[in-house]
Amino acid sequence: MKIICEKTALITGVNIALRAIPTKTTMEILDCLKIKANDGNILFVGNDMSLGIETKINGEIIEEGSFVVNAKLFSETVRKLPDSEVVFTASDVSLNIKCENVNYDIPIRSAMDYPDLPIIERKNFAVMSQLTLKDMIRQTVFSIGADTEAMKIMTGELFEIKGKKLRLVSLDGHRISLRNVELNEEYGDVKVIVPGKTLNELFKILSGELEDKVVIYFSDNHILFEMKDTLVLSRLIEGEYYLVDRMISGDYETKVHINKREIADCIDRATVLIKENDKKPLVFDLKNDEIEVTLKTPFGKFDERINIEKEGDDIKIAFNPKFMLDALKAVDDDEIDIYFMNVKSPCIIKDKAESYMYLILPVNFNAD
């Protein structure tokens, strides 16, 4: 096998495929990248048996072929090369890398040793903008739960399609994040749970351009995201997702309209007094046309008042400041509405169309 390509294109392909290389594995072959040149394409493949990524780059194929190489070694090697044209020549056991006056010879393995990505039936699918999907992931993925066997379903995010509507939902036991979007066409009903790791890696690969499309294919056990030059294939999490609609009430006793930047900046200022991993509640005291935000920690006290538009009862309630700030950062609107029922019920941040919704459970606090 012999190929020629530019270092910039090479780095792009390697960086994308590396996202599917596991940090720890008992299978040495999974520490490797598969590189394949045929049919005019130069392909890079990473596979951890749950997440697989295949991406292609431009280059000249002198002789077709394929090989497997240690991902870390290959990545570090090509990064050290001059910014120029790179020539790869592979034998059965070694790969020669030549760039200007630089020569490397590194060991490789047969591509036959590498596990193939599963082939799924491309029957059930939906098409959407990469920008929209990237935004939806950004606005929900932070609520995915920690990776524990007892809460396996919480480590993923619900993808649900009904006709022309796509809904993404995540929760971790303390909060719920929900995003709705209208698709351009009607598709069949789909309900799957996608691992949080897959979404975090996919987020970094999506272009974020409105005109760039992504086709999402669904099968019984896998989900496939197909972009122009890259495929991201992931196993799904088995099981039934939580019935979140039953957890969300439309009733409220207090509604607050507030400037998002003002309340987000206020919470951010308060967190200066919170040591990392310290769970100190942020108290919201809503009276008349203002909200008083207070915090007391061993490092000091914080107090700030912000003007609001309030409908309904006064209320004094406390929240984990990180959860509140995560939700506020995810909202793109300048002005937001927050709904409260009582000190034991979650608050809900949502727009009138309910294109986004964030439910945050309150925490106990000393009223004094």
Is the model's pLDDT at 276 over the cut of 80? no
Residue ranges of the chain that CATH labels 3.10.150.10: 2-113, 124-245, 249-360
CATH superfamily of this structure's domain 124-245: DNA Polymerase III, subunit A, domain 2 (3.10.150.10)
Is the model's pLDDT at 219 over the cut of 80? yes
Percent of the chain surpassing pLDDT 70: 99
Render 228-267 in DSSP notation, one character per residue.
SSEEEEEEPPPSPPP-GGGG-----SEEEEEEHHHHHHHH
- The helix or strand, by DSSP H or E, that contains position 15, with its residue range, turns out to be helix 7-18
Give the three-state DSSP class for 124.
Answer: strand
Q: What residue type is 340 in one-letter code?
A: F
> Which residues contact residue 299 at a Cβ distance below 8 angstroms, ignoring those fewer than 6 apart?
273, 274, 275
Q: What is the pLDDT of residue 277?
A: 76
Picking from 56, 31, 202, the residue whose alpha carbon sits closest to that of residue 115 is: 31
CA 175 to chain CA centroid, Å, is: 17
CA atoms within 13 A on the CB side of 289: 2
Question: What's the CATH class of domain 2-113?
Answer: alpha beta
Average pLDDT over residues 102-122: 95
Count H helices, E strands: the chain?
Answer: 6, 24
CB 153: neighbour CB atoms within 10 A? 15
Is the model's pLDDT at 148 over the cut of 80? no
Of the pLDDT bands very low, low, confident and very high (cuts 50, 70, 90), residue 367 is: low
φ and ψ at residue 70, rounded to 5 degrees = -55, 125
Average pLDDT over residues 235-244: 94
Q: What is the pLDDT of residue 208?
A: 86
Distance CA 22, CA 32 (A): 10
Q: What residue type is 347 in one-letter code?
A: C
Q: What is the pLDDT of residue 149?
A: 63
Could you identify the residue written with the tokens 């270092």?
7
Q: What is the pLDDT of residue 25?
A: 85
Q: What is the pTM of this model?
A: 0.93
249-360 folds as: DNA Polymerase III; Chain A, domain 2 (3.10.150)
Structure tokens at 200: 């975090």
Distance CA 311, CA 305 (A): 18
Q: What is the pLDDT of residue 368?
A: 56
Q: What is the pLDDT of residue 206?
A: 97
Of the pLDDT bands very low, low, confident and very high (cuts 50, 70, 90), residue 151 is: confident
Angle between helical axes of 196-205 and 130-138 (0-180°, round to 10): 130
pLDDT digit string, tens, across residues 319-347: 999 999 999 999 999 999 999 999 999 99
Q: Which class for 37: exposed (0-12), middle (13-18), buried (19 or more C-beta within 10 A)?
A: buried
